[in-house]
Amino acid sequence: MSIDPYALTVNGREHEISEGWPGESLLWVLRERLGLPGSKNACEEGECGSCSVRLDGEIVCSCLVLAASAVGQEITTVEGIAPDGTLSDVQQAFVDAGAVQCGFCTPGLVMAIDVLLDSDTDPDDLTVREAISGNLCRCTGYGRVIEAVNLAAAFRRGETDL
Amino acid sequence: MSGTRTTDRTGVAPRTGGPGIGESVPRPDGVPKVTGSFAFSSDLWHDRMLWGGTLRSPHPSARIVSVDIGAAVTITGVHAVLLHDDVPGSKAYGLEHSDQQVLAGEVVRHEGEPVAIVAADHPETVRRALDAIVVEYEVVDPLTDPAAAETAPPIHPDGNLIRRIHLRHGDQQVVGEVQVEGTYEVGMQDQAFLGPESGMAIPVEGGGVDLYIATQWLHADRDQVAACLGLRPERVRLTLAGVGGAFGAREDLSMHVHLCMLAMHTGRPVKMVYSREESFHGHVHRHPARMWYRHHADRDGTLVRVEASLLLDGGAYASSSSAVIANATCFAAGPYRVPSADIEGVVVRTNNPPCGAMRGFGAVQTCFAHEAQMDLLAGALGMDPVELRLRNVLATGDRLVTGQAITGTAPGAEVIRTCVDHPSAASIAEDPMALPGGAGRTADPAHVVRGEALAVGFKNLMFSEGFDDYSSAACRLADGVATITCACAEVGQGFVTLVQQIAHEVLGVQEVVLEPASTETIGSAGSTSASRQTWMSGGAVQKACEEVRVRLLARVADEHGVELDGLVLVDGLVASLTGDLRVDLVSATSDPIHAEVEFRHAPTFPLDEDGQGDAHVSFAFSAHRAIVDVDVGLGLVKVVELTTSQDVGRVLNPVQVVGQLEGGAAQGVGLAVMEEVQLSDGRIRNASFTDYLVPTALDMPPVEIAALIEQPEPGAPFGAKGVGEPPSITSTAAVAAAIRAATGLALPRVPVRPSDIVFGGGAA
Ligand code: FES
Ligand code: FES
C-alpha cells in the first residue's frame, strides 16, 4: 500500500515513512517499520502502558497515537533514553532491584518512571503508585518496581550511586 | 525443627554478594529487557513474512452450514485462506485428550473457536479478508450451566463428563460434635499475561517447518503440532521465542498449528499476533467452581471429617481439566489432618470458554472454600481461628486425605506462626487516594471499616498421578566456560538466572552460556508449570554439571597421576588437598567435557477408585494475612496490607523468590476483588483490559514477607521447593476473609463485587 510520505523524529533521528497504510498507529510504525520494537503491544487499546513513549516530553500511549499525526514532534522511545551500550539510571535501578521478570511491561514502566522523576526526585509511595498506575505488570505485583523507583530517585537526589 | 532458617525481609539484598546459590544474582536477561532489545515473540520479523489472522465463531454453539471464502481469496494481498479440511493431519489436539479442533468442522462449541485462518501482506489486509469470509451458522442453544452438563445431550463425542473422582478416606461413619456447612463459588479468572500470543512459522525446504513461539513446554507442543500437520516430530522444530508471562495460559496450543499450516501453504514465513480481545478467546482460563462443604470437628477443635462436593466448569474442551480436578479434590480439605473424608470432584464440559491451567491449578478454588469453612468452624466453636488452624495443621509424617503420608518437609505450623507474629505496618489512610475507590476519591471515611484475617494453604509440586515427569539438560565445559542446554521455557520466572547460579556453584565457573531453548538440541524439559522447573530443570542442570565435574576431576587425576579423592574444585582451579597441584579450569578443559542427563523426581502413583494413593511428590505451604479497608456504603475494598510466610525449602535467589511472592499475591488480590471473565449465554462480555480489571500499583498493597521458611526438601536440588504457585493460592482466601471480618457478611463468592457488600450478597 502506498501513502503520502511523512517524516518522524525518533530519538533524535529523522525517518521517512513512505509505505504502509495511512491508519497505522505510532506504536505499529515504531515496531514494524522503524525497527524499534522496544515499545510493547500488550493491549493496543490504551489500557496497559506497555507502549509508552514521550512525545515532546509528555508520556503517551503510542498505540493510541496515529503515526502520521506525530509529524514535527520529538518522539523518545525506550531505545533512546540512554546512549547505546549504557543504561539510564532508571534502567540500572530495574536491573539492580530485581524489578524485571518477563519484562514485557518493563520498557513502558521505565518511560513512566523517567517522566515522574524528571519532575519529582523525592516522590512518596502514593505518588509513585499513582504515576505508574497506568502501567500494568502481571508478574511482579509492583513491589520490586517501586523499590527500583526508590533506588533511582535516591540516585537523582545524589544520595547513592547506582 | 533443626535445619530451619527463616529469612527476614531485611535479608533480601537488592545486590548480590556473589554469583552462587543463595545470592540475589541479577537476571542475565535483565539488561536487554530494560533497554527494549530483548526479542519477545511479538517482535519476530522476517523480510519475506506475511501476517496471519484467525476467524472465530461468534456463537458458543452452532452447526456450520457453509463457509464461503470466494470473496476473501480475491482480495489483493491475500495469500491463503484455510479451513478445517485443509488441516493435513489430525484435526484435533489436546494436552490430555485430543478433543479440541484445530479449525472447526461441522460444529463450533465455544465463542471464539477458530473457523478459518488467513495469510496476507498486511494486518489490515488480513482484517478485510476475515471480514469477507461468509460463514452460515445454524445456531444451537448453548449448554452453559455446568450443573446441567451431565444430564444434557452430549456436546462432544467424548461426552460431557470430563472426570469424576470420588475420594473416600477413613471411617465413613464418624460424625463431629460440631458441624458447619457452606457453599462457595469462584468466578472465571484470566491469566492476563502481558505479552500477547504471537509467533512465526518458517517453512523448511523439503517439507517441515520451524516454529518460533512463546510457550511453556516446547516438546509437548511439538508432538501435538506434528500430529496435526501429519509430519514426523523431527520435521517440526520449535524454538522458544521471548515469553511475556504465562501463568498456565500457554500450556495449550493456540496459533501453533495455524501458523505452520499458513507457512507451509504459502511457502513464506508467517507471523501472527493476537489482539488483547483475541487473547481472551485464544487461551484457557481458570476453572470457575461451585463447592459445597461440611466440616465436622470435636468440641476441642480437632477436625474429624470433611465432606465436599466440587463442580468445575471445564468449558468446551478438556485441556488439563483432569489434572485440575485431581488437585482440587486431593487438596480440598486444605493443609490439615482430616482422618475421615468424602470428597467428590467433578469437571464437566459446557459451551463456555475452555478452562485449563492457571497458577495454583485447582488448589486456588478449594483454598477459598476450605479457609472460609475453617473460619466458620472457629466461630461455631468459639475458638480463635489461628489456634484452630495450628491444632490441625499438617506436619511431616501426617497423612493427606489421599492416604499418602508426607515424607518431606511440611512446616505448616511455622508458616502460620511467623505470619501472624509479624507486626503490621498498616496505618490508617489519610489521603483519600489510599481509601477504597482510590484515585476516584469516592470513599467517605465515615463508612470505611477495617478487617483482618489469615488464610493457609498448600499444594503439590510437579506432576502427579504416575506421570513420567522428567527434564533433560546438557553441560559442556570448554576453555573454562560452561555451556548449558535445556529446553526449559523461561516465561519470566528466572530459570535463566538459576542456571548461572547452579553452574557456578557446582563447577566454580565465572562464565555460563545458556543455549536457546529448542526441540532440536535436547530432549524435553517438561512444562514450566506446577512450580516444577526449579526442581526439575534445576535438578537436571545440577546433575549435568556434577557429571562434568566428576569427569574433570578424573581427567586431572589421571593426567597428573594423583589420587581422585585428594582433588577439589575451587575458585576456577582443580587443586589437590595437599596443595602441590593446581590446574586452572581453562587449560584443564581445552579438550571439552560434555555430559547430558535426564533428571526424574521420585515416582508417583495413580489414585485408586477411592481417590487413595501416593499420587504426589512434594508439597509447599503458605500463609497470608490480609488487612483491608471496606467502604460499606459503596461496596469498595482497598487491600491495605498483605503479610506472608512461605515454605520454600531453600532460597536459591532471594530477590527472585520475593518477586514470585509479590507477583503471585497480586494475582490473588485480583481474584479476590476485581478479576472475573464475565459470561452471559457463553459469551465473554469483558474481553479487554478496559473491562477485565487487573490490579494496578494503586490496587496492590505492599507485601510484607514475614518469613521464608527454609527446611531443605530431600531430593530437591539444594533442598529448594518451587515457589511460584503458593502465593496465589492463599492470598485470595485471606483477602476475602478480611472483607468478611470487616463487614460481618458471609461473602461465599469471589471476586467479591460491590453489590455483594452493599446488598449483603450471600448474607450469613
Ligand atoms: S499497548 Fe498501548 S496502552 Fe496497551
Ligand atoms: S514483568 Fe511481566 S508483566 Fe511486568
CATH number for the domain including A130?
1.10.150.120
A33 and A61 part of one domain? yes
Distance CA B741, CA B372 (A): 11
How high is the pLDDT of residue A3? 87
| B42, closest residue in chain A (CA to CA) | A41
What separation in Å is there between the alpha carbon of A136 and the centre of ligand 2?
8
Q: Is residue A162 part of a domain?
A: no
User: What are the pLDDT digits (tens) for B713-759?
Assistant: 999 999 999 999 999 999 999 999 999 999 999 999 999 999 999 99
User: What are the pLDDT digits (tens) for A33-72?
Assistant: 999 999 999 999 999 999 999 999 999 999 999 999 999 9
Mean pLDDT (chain B) is: 95
Q: Is residue A1 part of a domain?
A: no
Q: Is residue A64 part of a domain?
A: yes
CB spacing of B690 vs A132 below 8 angstroms: no
Q: Which of A27, A55, A80 is the last residue of a domain?
A: A80
How high is the pLDDT of residue B14? 35
A67 and A120 part of one domain? no
Intrachain domains B289-464+607-758 and B470-600 with the same fold: yes
A76 and A100 part of one domain? no
> What nine digits make up the cell of B677?
471473565
Give the C-alpha distances (Å, rounded to integers) separating B670 from B6, B239, B633, B751.
28, 32, 21, 8
Alpha-carbon distance A72 to nearest alpha carbon in chain B (angstroms) = 24
Evaluate whether B205 touches B269 at the Cβ level (below 8 Å): no
A96 and A74 part of one domain? no
DSSP codes of every residue in B295-348: EEE-TTS-EEEEEEEEEEE-TTS-TTHHHHHHHHHHTTT-SB--S-EEEEEEEE
- Which chain A positions have a beta carbon within 8 Å of B433's beta carbon? 126, 130
A11 and A42 part of one domain? yes
Q: Residue A100 is part of which domain span? A: 89-156
- Highest CATH level, class, for B289-464+607-758: alpha beta
Which residue ranges in chain B fall short of pLDDT 50? Answer: 1-4, 6-17, 763-764
What phi, psi does B442 have (nearest 5°)?
A: -95, -15
CA B145 to chain centre: 26
What ipTM score was computed for the predicted complex, to two decimals? 0.98
Evaluate whether B464 touches B617 at the Cβ level (below 8 Å): yes
A101 and A151 part of one domain? yes
Tell me the residues of chain B between 151 and 210 that have a Cβ less than 8 Å away from chain A: 191-196
Give the residue extent of every domain in chain B: 48-141+194-245+250-282, 289-464+607-758, 470-600
- Which chain A positions have a beta carbon within 8 Å of B194's beta carbon? 40, 42, 48, 50, 102, 104-105, 136-139
How high is the pLDDT of residue A110? 98
Roughly how many angstroms between the first and final C-alpha of chain A, as a whole number?
48
Size of interface A-B (CB pairs under 8 A): 197
Residue from B29, B40, B194, B276 to probe ligand 2 pocket by mutation (most atoms less than 8 Å from CB) = B194
Rounded to a whole number of angstroms, the CA Rg of chain B reads 27
Distance CA B743, CA B745 (A): 5
User: What are the pLDDT digits (tens) for B242-280?
Assistant: 999 999 999 999 999 999 999 999 999 999 999 999 999
A73 and A17 part of one domain? yes
Given strand B567-570, what is the order of strands in its sheet?
B567-570, B573-576, B582-584
How high is the pLDDT of residue B512? 97
Neighbours of B468 (CB within 10 A): 9
Ligand nearest to the CA of B275: 1
CATH architecture assignment, domain B48-141+194-245+250-282: Alpha-Beta Complex (3.90)
A73 and A114 part of one domain? no
How high is the pLDDT of residue B109? 98
Three-class secondary structure assignment of B125-178: HHHHHHHHCEEEEEECCCCCCHHHCCCCCCCCCCCCEEEEEEEEECCCCCCCCE
Alpha-carbon distance B434 to nearest alpha carbon in chain A (angstroms) = 8
Mean pLDDT (chain A) is: 97
Q: What is the CATH number of domain B470-600?
A: 3.30.365.10
Paired residues of B482 in beta bridges = B477, B512
A12 and A71 part of one domain? yes
Enumerate the H helices of B395-512 as residue ranges.
Answer: 412-421, 495-507
Residue A126: is it exposed, middle or buried by C-beta count within 10 angstroms (0-12/13-18/19+)?
middle
What separation in Å is there between the alpha carbon of A39 and the centre of ligand 1?
9
User: Which one of B194, B276, B688, B735 would you mutate to disrupt binding with A, by most A Cβ within 10 Å of its Cβ?
Assistant: B194
- pLDDT(A75) > 80: yes
Q: Is residue A161 part of a domain?
A: no
Distance CA B466, CA B604 (A): 4
A70 and A19 part of one domain? yes
- In three-state secondary structure terms, B203 is strand
CB spacing of A98 vs B702 below 8 angstroms: no
CA B30 to chain centre: 22
- The number of residues making up chain B comes to 764
A94 and A152 part of one domain? yes
Residue A25 near ligand 1, beta carbon < 6 Å: no
A15 and A65 part of one domain? yes
Distance CA B729, CA B531 (A): 12
CB spacing of B34 vs A20 below 8 angstroms: no
Alpha-carbon distance A56 to nearest alpha carbon in chain B (angstroms) = 20
Query: What CATH number is attached to the domain comprising A45?
Result: 3.10.20.30
User: What are the pLDDT digits (tens) for B680-702?
Assistant: 999 999 999 999 999 999 999 99
Tell whether A54 is within 8 A of chain B (Cβ): no
Provide the number of structural domains found in chain A. 2
- Which chain A positions have a beta carbon within 8 Å of B37's beta carbon? 38, 79
Residue found by looking up cell 495455524 in the block: B258
Distance CA B35, CA B16 (A): 21
Residue A63 near ligand 1, beta carbon < 6 Å: yes
